[in-house]
Structure 1
Amino acid sequence: MKLHTIPIRLATGAYILHSGLSKRGANEELAAGLHGMAAGAYPVLKDIPPKQFVKALSTVEMTLGTALLTPFVPRGVAGAMLTGFAGGLVGMYARTPALRRPNSIWPSQQGTAISKDSWLLSIGLSLLIDALTDRG
């Protein structure tokens, strides 16, 4: 792990790990809401029961958060994982018109929280680029 990647890996990893842990015991209402939003953007998810979807999402978030926090996980691997995960979140934002202002890429009031996932994508890409361009 390179010294300059520690702050972004700690902050991002802790946030994502906490998010995954908080979804572990999701009730039916939360599961239905998260599943509905995801399935609206990615119709292939419609056939997965909401509780099963949230359990899988929780596991993915906990795994990703742990990978970012673990020093021996190479930054390229952590960056690729984060880029893939965040790409899905940004894709959901892009595919859900209610999250954006009409005819715009800018978020509506309800889209602000999800639009911030673009920062996760940027962090993942930065880790990935850093690893791929490191000559040392």
Structure 2
Amino acid sequence: MRFRPRLHQLPPRLATGAFILNSGLSKRNADKDTAAALHGMASTAYPFLGSRDPEEFVRTLSRAEIAVGAALLLPVVPSFVAGAALAAFSGGLVGMYLRIPGMREEGGLRPTEQGLPVAKDVWMLGIGAGLVLEDLLNGRRG
């Protein structure tokens, strides 16, 4: 069966896909300081990443963002698949927001000024979950 994207899914897929693809492309040639900063933030939230080389970590992150962005932008990729990739990726970002000290106001979920750039990623989690849920509820997965 040939996949046909639903028209109403295209705006969130295109906007989110372009945003993530751009982010991934901008990290392709990250310098050592940028790599160290991104790796430090990620390994604070996810300590198992601490043993990874910062530059290799950023190359992997770049590839992941490019893949997720491309999956969202390419209408031949089923919304279930693109949405699942987006939900997994953005779930990791939201996890960073929840785990890194100083990102949230004490005792709540409201972001601090420092946490705002990461807290905004919750919209990507919502879009990914919406794409997956719609396909699950409509019995479409590919």
Q: Which moved more, 1:26-35 or 1:94-103?
A: 94-103
What is the count of residue pairs matched by the alignment?
Answer: 136
Say yes or no: does 1:124 pair with 2:128.
yes
Partner of residue 93 from structure 1, selected from 91, 97, 113: 97
- The 5 Å alignment of 1:52-91 reads 52-91=56-95
**Which is richer in helix?**
1
Q: With structure 2 as the length reference, what TM-score do the two structures score?
A: 0.94
Secondary structure at the residue paired with 2:75?
coil
Q: What are the superposed Cα offsets for residues 78-126 of structure 1, whole Å, 9 maximum, x if unpaired?
A: 0100000010000010001211111221100010010001000000000
Distance 2:138 2:16 in 1: 22
The SS at the match of 1:29 is: helix
Unpaired segments ≥5 residues, structure 2:
none
The secondary structure found in structure 2 opposite 1:110 is coil
Q: Structure 1, residues 26-69: CA drift from partner, whole Å, max 9, x if none?
A: 00110000000000000000000100000000000000000000
* Candidates 3, 17, 27, aligned match of 2:21: 17
SS of 1:39's equivalent? helix
Q: Cα RMSD over matched residues?
A: 0.9
Deviation at 1:14, TM superposition (A): 0.3
Residue equivalent to 2:46:
42
**Residue 51 of structure 2 aligns to a residue in which SS?**
coil
Residue 135 of structure 1, CA deviation: 5.0
Write out aligned runs for 1:18-33 (5 A).
18-33=22-37
Superposition deviation, residue 134 in structure 1: 1.5
1: CA distance, partners of 2:48 / 2:122: 23
* Runs (4+) off by over 3 Å: none
Structure 1, unpaired ranges of 5+: none
Q: Percent identity of the aligned residues?
A: 51
The whole-number CA distance in structure 1 between the counterparts of 2:81 and 2:30 is 29
Question: What TM-score, normalized to structure 1?
Answer: 0.98
